[in-house]
């Protein structure tokens, strides 16, 4: 017995699409044991009963959707930078903030770590005394001073550097800043240039950067 089936290309492709669709239905039925749902409108989608704000949807190995806490947040989360090129001079014996070297951050996780790097050009131009440079969180000293410049009459600038790690204990904002002050009767702090004004003096810029690193805390 000989059977011949003559199909045009159009009819063949139509039958092929129908076959693929039926196969997909069988796969879904075999895997989950329920008839496939044709779909829902966006307005019809709601979270499962018992879910609360801040939780995420999770699909279990059984195919059921449940709610749970967000997973761990790790790796580099944010990077902040600030550059100061302003030349200034302070003779205050109290800590004075350098406005351009001040960064406010909001933790992405409740126990994020913040790697703070600062390079500050500060010099005391007097024949005695010193210039102190410190790192602060708000008005709290973290490392102060981390750099000290004693008296200098040459035309060179001097750079003080620090790397410091601070850990968040909650998700509230915090402000990291650089402050300077003089030490001694004759002390002074010249920022971003050499202490003298003679020809050939050197200038520079001060920088501050903060890298937020997730360490497995819950995201906000």
pTM exceeds 0.85, yes or no:
no
Q: Is 109 a member of any domain?
A: yes
pLDDT score recorded for residue 209: 97
pLDDT score recorded for residue 127: 74
Q: Is 46 a member of any domain?
A: no
State the residue range of the domain holding 210.
72-218
Q: Is 208 a member of any domain?
A: yes
Q: Is 48 a member of any domain?
A: no
Question: Tens-of-pLDDT digits for all 220 residues of the chain?
Answer: 555 555 566 666 666 666 766 666 655 555 555 545 555 665 666 777 777 766 667 777 776 777 766 666 678 999 999 999 998 888 899 999 999 999 999 998 888 999 999 999 988 877 778 889 999 999 999 999 998 887 655 555 678 999 999 999 888 999 999 999 988 887 788 898 876 555 456 678 999 999 999 876 555 5
Report how many domains make up the chain: 1
**How far is residue 138's CA from residue 211's CA, in Å, rounded to a whole number?**
18
**How far is residue 78's CA from residue 174's CA, in Å, rounded to a whole number?**
14
E strand map for 126-183: 130-137, 140-150, 159-167, 174-183
Classify 6 as helix, strand or coil. Answer: coil
pLDDT score recorded for residue 68: 67
Contacts of 117 (CB under 8 A, 6+ apart): 161, 162, 163, 207, 208, 209, 210, 211
For the chain, the C-alpha Rg in angstroms (whole number) is: 32
Q: Which helix (H) or strand (E) covers residue 81, if one does?
A: strand 72-84
CATH for 150: 2.60.120.1340
């Amino acid at each position: 017995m000989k059977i011949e089936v003559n199909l045009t290309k159009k009819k063949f492709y139509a039958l092929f699409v129908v076959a693929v669709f039926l196969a997909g239905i069988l796969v879904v039925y075999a895997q989950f044991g329920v008839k496939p749902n044709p779909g829902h409108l966006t307005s019809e989608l709601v979270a499962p009963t018992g879910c609360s704000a801040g939780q995420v949807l999770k699909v279990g190995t059984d195919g059921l959707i449940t709610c749970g806490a967000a997973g761990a947040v790790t790796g580099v989360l944010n990077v902040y930078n600030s550059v100061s090129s302003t030349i200034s001079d302070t003779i205050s014996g109290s800590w004075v903030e350098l406005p351009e070297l001040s960064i406010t951050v909001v933790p992405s996780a409740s126990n994020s770590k913040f790697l703070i790097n600062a390079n500050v050009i500060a010099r005391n131009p007097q024949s005695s005394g010193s210039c102190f440079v410190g790192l602060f969180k708000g008005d709290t000293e973290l490392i102060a001073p981390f750099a000290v410049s004693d008296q200098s009459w040459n035309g060179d600038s001097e750079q003080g550097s620090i790397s410091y790690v601070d850990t968040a204990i909650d998700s509230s904002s915090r402000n990291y800043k650089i402050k300077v002050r003089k030490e001694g009767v004759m002390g002074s702090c010249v920022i971003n240039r050499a202490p003298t004004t003679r020809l050939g003096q050197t200038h520079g810029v001060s920088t501050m950067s903060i890298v937020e690193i997730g360490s497995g805390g819950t995201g906000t």
